[in-house]
Amino acid sequence: MDTKDEIREFLTSRRAKLTPQQAGLPVFGGTRRVPGLRREEAAMLAGVSVDYYTKMERGDLRGVSEGVLDALARGLRLDDAERTHLFDLARATGPTAPTRRRRGAPQRVRPSVQRIIDAMTHAPALVQNGRGDVLAANRLGYALYSEMDLAPGQPANHARFVFLDPRSERFFAEWDRVADDTVAMLRTEAGRDPHDRNLTDLVGELSTRSEGFRTRWAAHNVRAHQTGSKRYHHPVVGDLELTYEILELAADPGLVLLALSAEPGTPSHDALNLLGSWAATTSHAAEPA
C-alpha cells in the first residue's frame, strides 16, 4: 500500500462520485468524458489552482495546510469518516512519517480489561484491533462467534472469516453489508497506519484469494463504525438481531471493545438468553473433573 497511490486513488474516486449538480455547479451542453467532476471543477470548489489540485491528486500532500485540506473535504462533500481518512493520509506523507514497513509488537489485552468483559454476563463482548484480529472475548462472545473458531491466545481475524470462510455467508444474515463494512474498516486503518506490515500482508492475502474483497477494496470507501445493528443466524439458537457499540480503549491505542445487546422482550433477547445457557453448559462440560 503505497501512500501516494492511496491518496491518488482516494481523491480520484471521491471526485468521480460527485456530479456537478450535487456540487451546485452549472452544467453546460456537450458530452462529459469523465464521471463526476473534472479536475478544474474540483480545484474551483477547493479554492485552489488546477495545478495545485493536480499535485494533490497525484498523491503529493506534503506541506498542504489543514485549511486547504478542509476546503478540499468540503469541496468534495466528504463525510466525517472520509475527511478523517484524508487527514490521516496527509499525516502519513509528513516529515515524521516512517519510510519503511514495520511489523508491530504483538498486542495484548490487559487482565483488567479481560475481567471487565468477563463481568458482562448478559452481553457478548470482544476486544479487537484495527485489522479485525479478535484478541479477547467473554463467554457469551465466544458463544456468539462460535463459527469464527475463536480461542484464547489464538486471534482469529474478522476479515479472513468474512471473505475466506463459507460459513460466514450463513452466519451473517446481511453478508454484503458486513463485507462492505469490513473492507471500509480496513481502508480506514490503512489510512491511519499505511506502514503496518501486518495489515499490508492481510490485504495482500485477501486480495489474492477473494474477488469480493478485491472489488470492494478498489472502491476506496471508508466508514466510521461506532454503533449500529447486526443480524446473525446462529447455528444453535437461530436468528438474532443485536445492537452493537464500539468503544475505544483509551489506555490501549489501537484496541476497541465491541459489546452487543438485544432489545428486551424481543425474540432476539430470548435467543441471547438461550445462547448464554448453552454457553454455560458447554463451558462446564469442557472443564476437567
pLDDT in tens, 189-234: 999 888 889 999 999 999 999 999 999 999 999 988 889 999 999 9
Task: Please give the pLDDT value at position 101.
Answer: 54
Residue 286's pLDDT band, with cuts at 50, 70 and 90, is: very low
Output the CATH code of domain 3-92.
1.10.260.40
CA 157/CA 164 separation, integer angstroms: 10
Residue 156's pLDDT band (cuts 50, 70, 90)? very high
Give the residue with greater pLDDT, 24 vs 284: 24
Q: What is the pLDDT of residue 195?
A: 84
Query: What is the spatial distance between Cα 131 and Cα 182, in angstroms, rounded to a whole number?
Result: 9
Higher pLDDT, 34 or 82: 82
State yes or no: pLDDT of 133 exceeds 60: yes
Fold topology of 111-286: Beta-Lactamase (3.30.450)
Would you state the pLDDT for residue 105? 65
Q: How much is the pLDDT for 289?
A: 35
Residue-level pLDDT at 25 = 86
Helix (H, G, I), strand (E, B), or coil: what is residue 270? helix
Contacts of 288 (CB under 8 A, 6+ apart): none
| pLDDT tens-place string over residues 19-42 | 998 888 887 656 777 779 999 999
pLDDT bin (cut points 50, 70, 90) of residue 287 is: very low
Residue-averaged pLDDT of the chain: 90
Distances (CA, A) of 28 to 20, 25, 43, 149: 10, 10, 18, 57
pTM of the model: 0.85
**Model confidence pLDDT, tens digit, residues 241-255:** 999 999 999 999 999
Confidence band, pLDDT 50/70/90 cuts, at residue 102: low
Domain boundaries, the chain: 3-92, 111-286
Query: What pLDDT does 288 receive?
Result: 40
φ/ψ of residue 196, rounded to 5? -75, 110
What whole-number percentage of the chain has pLDDT above 90?
76
pLDDT at 57 over 50: yes
